[in-house]
Amino acid sequence: MARAMLRRSFALLVLLLLFVTPASPALTQETPPPDPVPQEQAEQTAEEQPLLEEIVVTAQKREENVQDVPAAVTTVNEETLNVITGGGADVKALSGRVPSLMIESSFGRAFPRFYIRGLGNTDFDLNASQPVSMYYDEVVLENPVVKGMPLWDLDRIEVLRGPQGTLFGRNTPAGLIKFESKKPSQELEAYAQGSIGTYNTTDIKGAVGGGLTDTLSARFSFLYQSQDDWIDNGFTGENDALGGYDNLAYRLQFLWEPTIRFSALVNLHGWDVDGTARVFRANIIKPGTNDLVDGFDQETVFQDGLNKQDISSQGSVIKMDYDFDTGTLTSVTAFESLDMFSRGDIDGGFGAVFAPPSGPGFIPFPSESADGIPNLDQFTQEIRYASNTESPLQWLVGAFFFDEDLDAETFSYASLAPGNPVEGYATQTQSAESYAFFASFDYKPSPHWAFKGGLRYTNDKKEFSAERPDPTFQLPTFAPVTASTDDDFINWDISATYAASENVNWYGRIATGSRAPSIQGRILFAPDFEGGANPATNGVSVADTETNTSAEFGVKTELLNKSLRVNADVYIYEVKDQQLTAVGGAFNVATLLNADKTEGYGFESDINWAPNRSWLVTLGFSYNHTEINDPELTVAACGGGCTMRDPVVEGLAFIDGNSLPHAPEIIFNGIIDYKRPVGAGQFISSLDWSYYDDKQFFLYESEEFHADGFELGLRFGYGWNDGKYEVAAYGRNVTDEEIVQNGIDFNNLTGMMNDPAIFGMEFIARF
């Protein structure tokens, strides 16, 4: 309780700063101008005035100042990323770090599930689609496991909120996240960075690049992260049995520029994970509350199942640009492949009520399973032409092709038998193919006004097949259970920008985005005893296309001689036929549904303030309200002993009026940086935090499966030799908050926890 009061008090204190700060410029502007000062003194004052750096993004597939983009865009630069990913963090470290963004996973260091403005997908199956798209070096990463690619040697991250269906296509109705790695150049550059921390957490990364010839440059970057096992298994008596991992990644790039008009960039990359999958913990929540049970110990579990995760992914990208007199022709060709295997003790405990001893708490039946992708191949091709003339009318046209082949497997194990043998096996195959044509136009009739419009046509097809040759407790499938989808749709956007002054831009935007039809078929655990013959119970479900129509109005400002940047927006959206995933219930399955309508509205703000050369304050705030509007929509109620808040009829919960899962109304984050010359070097420090208020884990509402979260980070260091060398101490989750991040509801009150406090030392050398 004391910790909860502390984190809420902290959030309220800094929230006050958030609202007071934007008011200051208005008061300053209303103050009468000061008396003129001598020119020499004025020039000296201007020299000393701190300026925020211009942020260049490619949110519209052109390089632009983020202040000129008529959309809600937040960037995360290299310095910020270095702060929040200390201690070997993965992509989930971005959760709550920008307005309206949440990330969670039930697969450990892979399979991140993104949520923007409350829109996301809780589906844990290996062919799940998401309404938040992820682009890495201009390539869409569609499969949710591939999205677990590590973050390192990045130039910036761009988070685009709201539908992005025109320029980025299918599966972007909520928005997208773009990762841009550092590119090769002729300038010789290198760095090495290493840290060691609690649980022997090791994080080593580096890069080297430069010119090989006058026209060819290269850059090689690498990452190695590891952590020792730190969770004891009280059932087996094994100390340090779980929690560890080894993560290795590389990226090799070549940039060829034989003429001033043509360039070709080749990107070869890969990553591997070997370690612990997500650790599930049985009955860690007090019934009727969302409190942890008395005596909860983060460093101990009691499990009779095995835990293992192996992931291997490789990819390549070829980007070619040719500059004509009137524009640039761009081609981006990419191939991604992956194989993975992840196994865990899903019930989170040992034994069963019918096979004592068992625990912790009530374990109605054992559940131990694994999912694997023996083969995943993704091919994408985009061609576009962007004009570049002095005309007030600029345009971009292009075409896109996507092809994916996926093989997936599901295993069930007999935890109560010696050696935990396989007792069930099922397979899935899916082929997906999509193509699109798109166009975007920018028109600037005057220095004050700019208009933008775009249109995209998409065709999307899927073929799906699932078999259950070795079932757990049902009949084998008599024949493969198949499904297919074929749909085409159009997305569009229009926006207007009014430059009220050199440093204030108002904008309005209306846009649509669509998620293509989805197929789900985790049939191994489906409640079907007819060998897959009954479509109502064979575990294969199909969701139709969802479409989000969104309107937002915002302002982007640079004030106080560009030492203060305040960007804010309000938005409203309506999703028709939203694809929802009913996870869990009485069975370990995921069933696709279409809600008649989902509505959302909210407010977002980004603030960057450099009051002087020593301080930099970065704040982000969002309020997101979501509501499901479908009086007839039901999902399977909790099967693990929850206290339901929703009406339940014959085991089905009515979810009309509920908020979306993992959609907190308030997200508040910030980083306060302080730098000061000391001796021949510079003292550096950072305080960062992320707070989100209460969120539900499932489509239904229960007393147990919901939580809020607050984590605090610190970093103190010293740099010398003009910043070439730096040593620092860091801490992540320094108050050691214990946060239930997600749950499993079909067996018992199983929870998944955040990472404990990690402290360490770090050294950086730049050359």
pLDDT, tens only, 45-61: 444 555 788 888 998 99
- pLDDT for 1 equals 40
The pLDDT, as a whole number, for residue 589 is 75
The arithmetic mean of pLDDT across residues 506-532, rounded, is 92
pLDDT, residue 3, reads: 45
What per-residue confidence (pLDDT) applies to 43? 44
What confidence tier does 586 reach under pLDDT thresholds 50, 70, 90?
low
What b/e readout covers 605-641, taking b as 16+ CB neighbours within 10 angstroms? bbbbbbeeeeebbbbbbbbbebbbebeebbbbbbbbb
For the chain, the average pLDDT equals 91
Strands 216-227, 308-323: pairing kind: unpaired
pLDDT value, residue 585: 66
How would residue 534 be classed by pLDDT, with cut points 50, 70 and 90?
confident
679-697 confidence digits (pLDDT tens): 999 999 999 999 999 999 9
Look up the pTM and report it: 0.92
What is the model's pLDDT at position 522? 85
Biggest CA pair distance of the chain = 91
Instruction: Judge whether residue 42 has pLDDT over 70.
Output: no
> How much is the pLDDT for 714?
96
Using the CB atoms, write b or e for 310-321: b if 16+ within 10 Å. ebebebbbbbbb
| 521, 540 contact by CB (below 8 A) | yes
pLDDT digits (tens, 9 = 90+) for 87-146: 889 999 999 999 999 999 998 888 999 999 999 999 988 999 999 999 999 999 999 999
Q: Does the pLDDT of residue 443 top 90, yes or no?
A: yes
Confidence at residue 530, expressed as pLDDT on a 0 to 100 scale: 85
- What residue type is 509 in one-letter code? R
Instruction: Determine the Cα–Cα distance for residues 624 and 233; give it in Å rounded to an integer.
Output: 40
Q: Encoding tokens for residue 597?
A: 């309508």
Looking at per-residue pLDDT, the higher value among 737 and 526 belongs to 737
What does the radius of gyration of the chain's CA atoms come to, in whole angstroms? Answer: 26
2-29+61-766 CATH: 2.40.170.20
Return the DSSP state at 85.
T
pLDDT value for 528: 84
